[in-house]
Amino acid sequence: MKNLTGMLMVLLMLSFFSNQVLSQTRNRADIADKYKWDLSNLYSSEEAYQKAKEETVKKFDGILKYKGKLTKSPALLLEGLDYHYGIFKEMMRLSSYAGKKSDLDTRDSKYLAMRQEIDQLFTQYNSKSSFIDPEILTMDKKKMDKFLAKEPKLDVYKFYLNDLLRSKEHLLSEKEEKIVAEAGLISGSAGSIYGIFKNADMPYPTVKLSNGDDVLIDQAGYGRYRATDNREDRKIVFEAFFRKFNDFRRTFGTEMDGNVKSHIFYSNVRNYTNTLERALDANNIPTAVYHSLIENVNKNLASFHRYLDIKRRMMGLDQLYYFDLYAPAVKGIDAEYDYDKAQKMILTALKPLGKEYVSVIKEAFDNRWIDVYPTPGKRSGAYSSGSAYDVHPYILLNYNNLYNDVSTLAHELGHTMQSYLSNKTQPFQNAMYPIFVAEVASTLNEILLFNDVYNKTTDDDVKLSLLMEYLDGVKGTLFRQTQFAEFELRMHEMAEKGEQITGDSMSDLYRSIVRAYYGHDKGVCIVPDYIDVEWAYIPHFYYNYYVYQYSTSFTASTALAEGILNKDAGAVDKYINFLSAGGSK
């Protein structure tokens, strides 16, 4: 079923002797349990997981008894959909467990195999249940409305049924839907290969910094040292990191080619004009929204360039380079925020959202919902996962003690609260909120964090530093994500015209876009040639037109945060109701 299957689709530094490599990762065994996930709430053991998986698989064939009967009566439609969604709920929980096990060490083939098996089982069940949507669509709206009126318990499926009718022209016959479901066995391979290679197998470089330390510039190391005060060190880190990506650009290009071609396949078989139309139609978003975002951000690049020039002047530089973008604009500021301090900052900053909201955040901190520190083989970046309906959400971090890490934690907690409140308030059928609104809660939390920290700061230099942190966030959430969105669109347009997706063609495309955004030719910010391959570092390009929603959600969350901070009547209640709505509207 299209809505559910679419959903399947976010420092502690060790000291060594001076002649050894410094790494941002640490052995998992050395980390206190309170900073690690407790996955036992999903399944008490791997044996329990296996048993649940086997019991769920036994139910797969049961859906076939409803084939040809769903439109016979409201009772049979209800019974069939309840059975179907029951299987999906357990499959989502199984997927959550296998995925998190694998994310903790992407090098471990045992857990990779668990994840792959669940993906295969999804495909197997999707194939068996592929008759559901085509069969329901043999009814017209008049008959469907009669079914809804006669059986009140079908109301939980009302949104799904009406949305199904809306997209009727893009759904296929039963046999064709079965073929499309089977294609799921291979359609996600490119992204899986990319993730394993980048997180587990790619050999990252080691560089010597100005203080004599040898440091490993893996993804955690890059995240840490790209913000160092020493400019020459920043240059060394950037160049070493991205030249290593460039060494493997042909591999990354081939992975991206497979990714884009899978999008084209689904776009073609479902009779969409292009890949953008198909991707946005899942949430009923007009393509004009996407094009308008890119158009208007490009029209306002002068404002972005003004920010870049302010950063250059504050840093005392004659010329700003791309490797300067993550460095602090105000020197001499203690930018270390240990994880325990971050928790206190966030609990205080989010008080305007009410006691219940803050109490759930504290529960997440106290009861091991969060896996905090980078460890060898751990998936990079951060995310929040609330797909296991009957269990609290989980957060993956790679915490590096920077303000950006505090902000990232607040960001992911926004996702967590939307999942928590949606799961608590809505039945499973309507709990999964649309991706288009998913980044509102996360960016609103970031705004509240900044507002609280800034207003409590009396030191002018610290205030300036925080203001630049905030503007850096605007850069990253609005301008950078729109830049990514434009690259993603142009990349798909190239492929749709028959042009080849290769490491070199992607680097050429990325160069033209990133240099336009950063004013390279105008001398605003110089983008060195090794940045051409930065596209290969961004995992979001495998999420099928996801990144534009960071920008659109940022504008929404800014407006909502103003109402909350201004204590507008009903602002908090309306916002909590929004978070609790899930996919019911």
Radius of gyration of the chain (CA): 24
Question: What would the two tokens of residue 33 be?
Answer: 């349990």
DSSP 8-state symbol, 107:
T
Nearest to 423 by CA among 415, 433, 431, 434: 431
Question: What would the two tokens of residue 183 be?
Answer: 């294609």
DSSP 8-state symbol, 526:
B
Alpha carbons 320 and 335: distance in angstroms, whole number: 22
**Sequence letter at residue 487:** F
Q: Give the three-state DSSP class for 370.
A: strand
Q: Nearest 5°: phi and psi at 207?
A: -130, 160
Q: Residues 321-356, buried b or exposed e (16+ Cβ, 10 A)?
A: bbbbbbbbbbeebebebebeebbebbeebbebbeee
User: Which whole-number Å values give the CA distances from 524 to 281, 471, 514, in the listed order?
Assistant: 38, 17, 12
Question: What would the two tokens of residue 222 be?
Answer: 């890059």
DSSP 8-state symbol, 9:
-
- Residue 361: which residues within 8 A CB-CB, separation 6 or more? 346, 347, 350, 413, 417
Nearest to 2 by CA among 175, 172, 188: 172
Alpha carbons 392 and 99: distance in angstroms, whole number: 16
Pairing of strands 394-396, 383-385: antiparallel
Exactly one of 412, 439, 446, 534 is catalytic; which is it?
412
User: Which whole-number Å values give the CA distances from 557 to 75, 433, 446, 553, 575, in the listed order?
Assistant: 42, 16, 10, 6, 10
Contact 124, 61 (CB under 8 A): no
Q: Catalytic site residue 486?
A: no
Q: Could you give the count of Cα atoms lying within 13 Å of 65 in the half-sphere of its Cβ?
A: 9
**Sequence letter at residue 393:** P
* Residue ranges of E strands in 73-216: 206-208, 214-216
- Residue 241: which residues within 8 A CB-CB, separation 6 or more? 204, 205, 217, 222, 226
Catalytic residues: 412
